[in-house]
Structure 1
Amino acid sequence: MIDISSYQSGLTQANFNKMKALGVQTVIVKLTEGTTYTNPAAAQQIRFAKNAGLSIRVYHYARFNTPALAAAEARYFAKVAKSLGLSSNTMFYADMEEGVTATSDVVSNLRTFFNTLSSAGFSNHGTYTGHGYRYCDQIVNVLGKSRAWIAQYP
């Protein structure tokens, strides 16, 4: 499994085909950040990944630190996902690494984010974080270890 964002916008269909041939099975595409940013390469990246026979997951780079912002960011994420025709069984990750999100209410805010996504028809959730994130363990416990994606760098 690999994740990509606009930083990898230069990837071609041949690149995705090669990834598949090398054993990559899943691509996690950054769709959104906050309430205004959409990855301009997301539609093409999703199309190339699907054409290569890869499964698709998506993530939202969270900036919320209140329930109101969590709900607004989830609505934005869902709106973009719907515009791209993503199915309701697509796995939606909340990328929890931004310092502004690390408040004592982070778990409550994350639950609001996921509840809002579910209300929009997207109820397959996961979390992304790293061991350096102040509330890493609490974030992992929201959905359990099987739905947590922990950053690892060689």
Structure 2
Amino acid sequence: MQPKTFIDVSSHNGEISVDDYRALAQGVGGVVVKLTEDTWYNNPKAPSQVRNAQIAGLQVSTYHFSRYTTEEEARAEARFYIQAAQKLNLPKSTVMVNDFEDSKMLYNINRNTQAWVNEMRKHGYNNLMF
């Protein structure tokens, strides 16, 4: 079952201890951890943020901050995100979120995002939100 409330965690939040996550678990059901951005950034805190949230019993989802403006860039970003998830041994059933906020992405956003979705699905990731 998906939690109704969650918190967004990124490297800006730093290290979050198991005890901190347990305290958060009193009011939220899950966390969504930023794993990647574009094809160059990996959240250096993600391994501990994911591990500690799992130990605290929270549902862990992840997100990729997208910047693609073409279909090929979208596919490349999806592959980069997948590699990060695999390094953390996250199951393919993990909720994977495509966070697109950059206004530069608006041109052909539907076609480009469909390319991102197709690439994720091609690799077995079907629990997607965007």
TM range (shorter): over 0.9
Aligned to 1:146: none
> Alignment identity in percent?
34
**Hey, what's the Cα distance between the residues in 2 that align with 1:10 and 1:86?**
19
Task: List 4+ stretches of structure 1 deviating above 4 A.
Answer: none
**Hey, what's the Cα distance between the residues in 2 that align with 1:49 and 1:11?**
8
Using the TM superposition, give the Cα deviation of residue 9 of structure 1 relative to its aligned residue in structure 2, in angstroms.
1.2
Aligned to 1:122: 125
1:43 maps to 2:51: no
Aligned residues: 125
Superposition pairs of residues 3-152 of structure 1, within 5 angstroms: 3-20=8-25, 22-103=26-107, 105-127=108-130
Pairwise CA RMSD of aligned residues?
Answer: 0.8
Where 1:87 maps in the other structure, the secondary structure is coil
**Structure possessing the higher relative contact order (Cα contacts under 8 Å, 6 or more residues apart):** 2
**Hey, what's the Cα distance between the residues in 2 that align with 1:27 and 1:108?**
29
Using the TM superposition, give the Cα deviation of residue 90 of structure 1 relative to its aligned residue in structure 2, in angstroms.
0.4
- Normalised by the length of structure 1, the TM-score is 0.79
